[in-house]
Chain A
């Protein structure tokens, strides 16, 4: 049994100090008001203790006091609110130059992958001095990724990417928890985040065995699934060009404009009918049941992210829609069943 009794975890991120400062402020407020009330009660109870001669003074109240002790707590609350909101806003805006890491939570382990293809289970290596953004999703139920030393957490949801970012400041090894109850081995879904100096981190990245970067694995998968059949850069292609798509606004056939982010790409693969790009037909088959593992999905997204730079124009490289007859749409799934070896979608 350890006898050290610390009151808060190490501060290992840029935001930890800010959170602790707010915490300290609130501890002071709580202590102050609790002591105030506690001591007042004790003092009054003793000073006005019942004796045979004692007569209580029947006071009605005081509107002035009521106003004072409504307005002052309200004012203090507003200070706390603004302070907390400022930290929260900061935490919700990952910086643009963040190191991207992908996470998949599943019962009952954490899987992390770097764009270079390095993979970890239940541990995460990060450098100091550089923001790290973890985009994550759950394979099954809701989990929550929690780094006490960084003071950040975010629920990890099925079917939807959420993200969390931090910038580590202190080399060391710290806890990583699942903080959303997720079944039998919820307590076992625990790991460690290893913060290293940048040079050490680079060395670590290069040290393990890597089976291709995420983007290159994603490209292989992209070919295998036959996506290239429709998603070609030429003007006659049946599907929108994916070059430079990621991160740009997309105009849809119903008039809306949406951002092509991770969730958009994922939805387009699993539920393509939901958002049709303006100028294209709703002919894309769904890959629900084909792309089943979240890790595989992440490879595809990483590949699409890697295609081209961003420019400001909304993506709509088609002015006239191309008429497609039903028998022209390649049946990818059927082809795979017929001829598993051949790359799909060869015929026009």
Chain B
């Protein structure tokens, strides 16, 4: 059972020197990719846990903060990202089929949709900037000078009919909601940027014709990464945008 000599018929150009066969390489790199995704789950998981703890502690403020971000844009982004996962899956399928042009097309579409997502996020961040809702020394949830549109206290009084004093306290506490909003969507956006870089590299390799039925692992793992980032967003969207929307 020992295969000490590698015969030339087995030697795929993409076979790395430490592996004895493409099958072994595939299995090893597949396991590696899943373990890596596990580490990502642990990292986002830590952040999500902290979010959940504060959401329990400052529920009203979290509702108020959530209401002040746009569900429409968030939902649009969700559709965009799910669409990009679809195009990515198509790209992987095309690679499996060895269809070079289709691979390139689908990766490009994925990148396009990813850019749309990032563009919308930039717009949302800018809105928050205009409303003075960015945490830090300039945070103001009561409509300070130049950011009257960000008066959460006023909105609370109008919407929930609570006294102004209570509304002001809740508004003051929304800073912690926004801290998590920016930390969570920011970490997610960072992963999107890295994903875009990954896509660029895959695009170049796909154009070169590197991938085919015997070897398409990089595409597959790029796809896994992209799907993972998508799933993180599918958790983020309801957690951040949809708190108590039924009210």
The answer to whether A273 and B164 touch across the interface, beta carbons within 8 angstroms, is no
The reply on A272 being an interface residue by CB < 8 A is: yes
The reply on A250 being an interface residue by CB < 8 A is: no
Report A266 CB to chain B, min CB distance, Å.
15
The reply on B165 being an interface residue by CB < 8 A is: yes
Q: Identify which of A271, A281, A324, A329 contacts B169 (C-beta below 8 A).
A: A271
Question: Cβ of A282: which chain B residues have Cβ within 8 Å of it?
Answer: 162-163, 165-166
Interface of A is mostly: loop
The reply on B20 being an interface residue by CB < 8 A is: no
Report A320 CB to chain B, min CB distance, Å.
17
The reply on A145 being an interface residue by CB < 8 A is: no
Report A348 CB to chain B, min CB distance, Å.
17
How far is A282 from B164 in the complex, measured between Cα atoms in Å?
9
How far is A285 from B165 in the complex, measured between Cα atoms in Å?
6
The reply on A216 being an interface residue by CB < 8 A is: no
Size category of the B interface is 10 to 19
Query: Which chain B residues (144-193) contact chain A, with CB distance < 8 Å?
Result: 162-166, 168-170, 172-173
Query: Which chain A residues (255-304) contact chain B, with CB distance < 8 Å?
Result: 271-273, 281-286
Question: Cβ of B173: which chain A residues have Cβ within 8 Å of it?
Answer: 271
Report B142 CB to chain A, min CB distance, Å.
13
The reply on A326 being an interface residue by CB < 8 A is: yes
Q: How many A-B residue pairs have CB under 8 A?
A: 30
Question: Cβ of B162: which chain A residues have Cβ within 8 Å of it?
Answer: 282
User: Which chain B residue lies CB-closest to A270?
Assistant: B169
Q: Identify which of A271, A286, A326 contacts B163 (C-beta below 8 A).
A: A326
User: Which chain B residue lies CB-closest to A283?
Assistant: B163
Question: Cβ of B164: which chain A residues have Cβ within 8 Å of it?
Answer: 326, 329
Report A158 CB to chain B, min CB distance, Å.
16
The reply on B60 being an interface residue by CB < 8 A is: yes
How far is A99 from B153 in the complex, measured between Cα atoms in Å?
44
How far is A267 from B22 in the complex, measured between Cα atoms in Å?
64
How far is A271 from B170 in the complex, measured between Cα atoms in Å?
9
Residue among A282, A284, A286, A329 with the highest chain B CB neighbour number at 10 A: A282
The answer to whether B169 and A283 touch across the interface, beta carbons within 8 angstroms, is no
Report A323 CB to chain B, min CB distance, Å.
10
The answer to whether B163 and A272 touch across the interface, beta carbons within 8 angstroms, is no
Report A288 CB to chain B, min CB distance, Å.
8
User: Which chain A residue lies CB-closest to B166?
Assistant: A282
Scoring B residues 70 to 89 as 1 if CB is less than 8 Å from chain A, else 0, what string do you get? Answer: 00000000000000000000
Question: Cβ of A329: which chain B residues have Cβ within 8 Å of it?
Answer: 163-165
Question: Cβ of A271: which chain B residues have Cβ within 8 Å of it?
Answer: 169, 173
How far is A4 from B165 in the complex, measured between Cα atoms in Å?
63
Question: Cβ of B172: which chain A residues have Cβ within 8 Å of it?
Answer: 286
How far is A271 from B162 in the complex, measured between Cα atoms in Å?
16
Report B65 CB to chain A, min CB distance, Å.
15
Question: Cβ of A326: which chain B residues have Cβ within 8 Å of it?
Answer: 163-165
Report B141 CB to chain A, min CB distance, Å.
14
Query: Which chain B residues (16-45) contact chain A, with CB distance < 8 Å?
Result: none
User: Which chain A residue lies CB-closest to B61?
Assistant: A273
Report A42 CB to chain B, min CB distance, Å.
43
Chain A positions within 8 Å of B, measured between CB atoms, are 271-273, 281-286, 324, 326, 329
Of the A-B pairs whose beta carbons lie under 8 Å apart in the complex, a sample of 15, sorted by A's number, is A271-B169, A271-B173, A272-B166, A272-B169, A273-B60, A281-B163, A282-B165, A282-B166, A283-B166, A285-B165, A286-B169, A324-B163, A326-B164, A329-B163, A329-B165
Chain B positions within 8 Å of A, measured between CB atoms, are 60, 162-166, 168-170, 172-173
Q: A281-B163, A284-B165 are in contact. List 5 more A-B contacts (CB 8 A).
A: A272-B166, A273-B169, A273-B170, A286-B169, A326-B165
The 3 closest A-B pairs by CB, nearest first: A282-B166, A273-B169, A283-B163
